Amino acid sequence: MGKNQKPSIFLYGYSSQTEIGQKLHPFLTHLGIPFYELETCELSDGIESLLKSFTETKRINETLISSKVENPFILFCFFENQDLNFILNQFNLRGMCPIPLKAMLTENNQKWSFKELQNELIEEHQMILKTQTKDSEEKETNESKD
């Protein structure tokens, strides 16, 4: 992956009509971070190929949005770790949470389609929820023994 690439973001399901999108879009614009709003028909596109053509912010035509998107996600591209940590912290501080499905572009996932990425994020999120539930149940069991 190109080290000199400018940080950018792919958004799916966070249009300016959503509660999070209403806060997210102005925040990213203020920081000068270009973002690309994916349409459902673009989920089958390869990340790498769309990344090559992505040069500036692309917004969805709001009149084409007919319903709520299932499993919205964010893909962060070409961010340094400290910059990504700052942005995620700001998401929390500015009420742009929860955003359960998010990823950073990697050598591996850049070869996937956006749909493959979304499926992987859903699977990871479900595993996290199961682990949290199991940990919570174990904690309750241990507390009741005391």
* pLDDT higher than 90, residue 105: yes
**Cβ atoms within 10 A of the Cβ of 145, count?**
6
Instruction: Flag whether 97 is in a domain.
Output: yes
CA geometry: angle 20, 23, 25, nearest 5 deg: 100
Number of domains in the chain: 1
Instruction: Flag whether 2 is in a domain.
Output: no
What are 43-70's pLDDT values in tens digits? 999 999 998 888 777 876 654 554 678 9
Residues whose CB falls within 8 Å of the CB of residue 30, separated by 6 or more in sequence, listed in order: none
Instruction: Flag whether 68 is in a domain.
Output: yes
Instruction: Flag whether 3 is in a domain.
Output: no
* Domain of residue 79, residue span: 8-145
Write down the pTM of the prediction: 0.85
Instruction: Flag whether 119 is in a domain.
Output: yes
Instruction: Flag whether 91 is in a domain.
Output: yes
Residues whose CB falls within 8 Å of the CB of residue 7, separated by 6 or more in sequence, listed in order: 33, 76, 77, 78, 79, 80, 83
Buried b / exposed e across 50-61, counting CB within 10 Å, b at 16+? bbeebeebbebe
Percent of the chain topping pLDDT 90: 63
